Structure 1
Amino acid sequence: MPDIADAALLRVLQLASPALPIGGYAYSQGLEYAIEQDWVTDLDSAAAWLSELAARSLGRLDIPVLLRQYTALEQQNDGNFASWNDWLLASRETAELYLEDSQQGGALLRLMKSLMIPAALDWPTSEPLALVSAFAMAGQHWHTGSRVLALGVLWSWLENQTGAATKLIPLGQTDAQRLLDRLLPSLPPIVERAAELPDDELGAGLPGLAFASARHEHQYTRLFRS
């Protein structure tokens, strides 16, 4: 039998795996439009784009909410959990970003229901669920710990975005690994800063991301859904 720490790590790896059937590979979060406009053209500009998104979007919005929701579930505070879920979905600035979040969250919710996870079974299927809300449900049920779960969420996002950059710029496989190597050390500090943010400082203000996402909705040819 694995010990508690090993079991938690394995569950986080399960949740962060590209084999998780939620379709994360299908979304570029505006990167496809940014590449079409030559805002992102190579390894260095891709690293700059993704670094800003990780720190100023996920690090100030998704990850702080994930940490709060994990705590709410531990305290059996369903109202607080649901309020943060609604607040997060309301923070999505475009239709594409909202659908990306709610569709992946819904896919993970269906998976958790099939695995008989109590919090998922109690969640009404008709109510939209943000992706990190679903991660919080699964992680708390498996007692992963909020910090390692947050790192897993960031890694999963970064891996999907690197895959998108590899196809779209395009990057070679070696450059893709160089991109990951450059950005991975920044992930733990993002989680640490997210844990220190007070409620009234949560929120992401990235006009370029919102613009790219909105324009991507009408992009003539595209490979990705956002």
Structure 2
Amino acid sequence: MPGGKRGVQQDEARMFVSAVFACPADVAEQVTHRGRLRSFARAAIILRQGDWLTLTFLLLVGRAHALLYAAEGQMVLLHEFGPGDLFGALGEAEAARQDADVVAIDDVRTLTLDAGDLALLAQQYGCIGLALSRMLLQRLRRTTERMYERTALSAVGRVHAELLRQARGGDAMTIRPAPVIADLALRVATTRETASRTVNALERRGIIRRDGDCLTVVAPGRLEEMIL
């Protein structure tokens, strides 16, 4: 039975790899064969800042955050990882130093590969190389956007921007489930109190509305004008 369950997991991982890298089944089989499935419980530290790594992690299930700690002790969200994202050593020929703690936000399952093996596969198969390039460009754009907002916007403005971003990514300008205040504050590098006051003020003005476990942006135009 354990062997059968592992076989199912390998099949699921192979199909996932094929979708993520947009590669044929035989190439996905090579990637999966070279990797190892690993599971991490919610709140587990997957990687620690300062670790020397030679492994790449492909996130299959769950979410993870890359977290830094500022000089004054404040936690800073560096990256968010979801299914299909990579973290760890990304193609380095030698061991790379991990730049942040990576913490499991949910129960997480990954496919772990040697970074050198992944780099070799990228050289051999254009689909993998192209997918890696796209992933890294998307991460660079997200990081640049986050850096700009932290530099150019006030803390309140960053809360407004994050709520609008999440609503636009949902259905009918609705965030489902409603964002947790502590998580919202972490995303925009502010205090929980500031995030809470900002959300409450928007709700009082009728710009957002809570419906059960959802939060809807009722007036996206007005919210966008408040991003300062």
TM-score in terms of structure 2 length: 0.27
Higher relative contact order (CA 8 A, sep 6+): 1
TM-score in terms of structure 1 length: 0.27
Please identify which structure carries the higher strand content.
2
